[in-house]
Amino acid sequence: TRFYQASTSELYGQVQEIPQRETTPFYPRSPYAAAKLYAYWITVNYREAYGLYACNGILFNHESPLRGETFVTRKIT
C-alpha cells in the first residue's frame, strides 16, 4: 500500500523567505493549516515508526495566466 498526503503551502503561513525550501520552518496561521500540519507530521511518524510507504507533498497555487481558456478558472476570470 502506498499513501500520499497532499498538503498546502499554508503550512508556511506568513513567510520570511521566498522561495520556500524544505528547510523553511512551518508557521501555520489558520485551523486549516494547523490540521494540514498535523497530517504532515503524522504521515512522517507512521512512515518512520512502521516503515510504510507514505509521503507528503506540499502543493502551491497552480493557477497561471498561461492556463488555457478551456479551464473553468479561466472562464470565471
**How would DSSP label each residue in 11-27?**
GG-S-SSSS--TTSPP-
- Topology of the domain covering 2-76: Rossmann fold (3.40.50)
Tens-digit pLDDT profile for residues 10-24: 999 988 888 898 899
Annotated catalytic sites, by residue? 8, 10, 32
Domain range summary for the chain, segments of one domain joined by +:
2-76
Q: What is the pLDDT of residue 62?
A: 76
Return the pLDDT at 16: 83
More confident residue, 34 or 75: 34
> Cα–Cα distance between 44 and 46 in angstroms, integer?
6
Does residue 77 have a pLDDT over 90?
A: no
Q: Is 17 helix (H, G, I), strand (E, B) or coil?
A: coil
Per cent of the chain over pLDDT 90 is 62
Prediction pTM value: 0.77
